[in-house]
Structure 1
């Protein structure tokens, strides 16, 4: 087990000479967030918010799903942004604004 060194008044406790490997716990919190906790104790960690300790496979599946959802959400935002810029560009051009100015104002960089 680790040795605890004396800390300065109000300072952090320093652990030295960590022996062995930590126990790793995977957590899925009730709010949908995920956590990976390492402890040098045989006792499971106390969670800071409501959630449950799961095995690595369930954690990895939840992490993969979260990453996939993030990629899909980012693509949706990009598509919506492109459509908005194109619509603004078209409106500006219809109003007689020169192409270069319409592109700058709308941010549209696609094909006309």
Structure 2
């Protein structure tokens, strides 16, 4: 969930911005890295994260890299911590089918 205003200030987020983690799926890369409900994600590989859209965009760009480990900047209990998250390999993209038309 995107933070803003008073909610962001309550969690100690810079400029009141970041992403509040509401839930972490069991067995997920986030859980394995130590992300917890109530954490606030503020950066990914040093780049500021202000919205869920920011995070999706940066994660999407990283999935095709050979090194799929990302560093999350996280606020937990108003203290900044860093967590390394190993992203799953990108699913193989289906090949595009191309048909040919020939005339006889």
Instruction: State the TM-score, normalized to the length of structure 2.
Output: 0.24
Larger Rg: 1
**Higher helix proportion:** 1
**Relative contact order (C-alpha < 8 Å, sep 6+): which is higher?**
2
Instruction: State the TM-score, normalized to the length of structure 1.
Output: 0.23
